[in-house]
Structure 1
Amino acid sequence: MSPFGQQLRELRRARKLTVNQLAVYSGISSATISKIENGKRGTPKPATIKKLAAVLKVPYENLMAAAGHIRAFPEEIREASESYQSIYEIYQTAVTRGAEHLPIFNSQKWGYLSKQDIENLSKYFDFLASEAKKRTSSL
């Protein structure tokens, strides 16, 4: 199995989708998806990857990097600002904990939030982080 095929399978399973469901939602045949996952098909074209990313709710660029079409994200952020690095680390933490699908990572939804909404979100996050820190400190 190719690394891309393995990642595709993991993402599909994390979303609790069958191959057939992913095929229906993406417009890509189930045979093609199965071949990709099993490493029996070469690297998918960017148009195919875009369809898969949309259904799997992952950034298109991440799948493009996994497929080898673009330079991997970590390389790019080494050259970026420190704040961008920390945002990437937050996302990576979410991925390792299976939370990358949360609405907070959907950039389109941020467009609806007002400055006050974002401030409230920040205060609530600070509260949750404080409670989590207390909880882990007492273990």
Structure 2
Amino acid sequence: MSMTVSLLVGLLAARGRFPLRLFVAGSALLWVALAALAGALVCLLLAVVPRYGNVQWAPGRPLTYFGDIRRATDDCRLAEALDVTEAHPTEGVLEALAQNSRIVGAKHRWIRAGLGAYCVGMLLLPIVRLVG
């Protein structure tokens, strides 16, 4: 992002051109580019937002991630939950894989959207300079 800001400042400062002194088309493209870059930042921040499994642990179910362990501990049933997990390891692994796949898929979508918006913004910045 710092390289993007440096590029933007360089493009606008060259030959004394600033956003207020651009032609209408250049100003419009500049604002579209800035909106795309801001959108890219939002998308990439949403990619790192923590996501937890949507299946709540209940007694008799195996533990799949740290939230399940916390819930079992809060209910004073951690030993029972560990016994169930040991007795049925495949169920816990399959559920954990399904939850992790969903979480990674959501993060991957936000990363793709952020990179797409970033590329659009970066392609528009030199065009702003050319259009003036």
TM-score (norm 1): 0.26
Greater Rg over alpha carbons, structure: 2
Q: Which has the higher contact order (CA 8 A, sep 6+)?
A: 2
TM-score (norm 2): 0.27
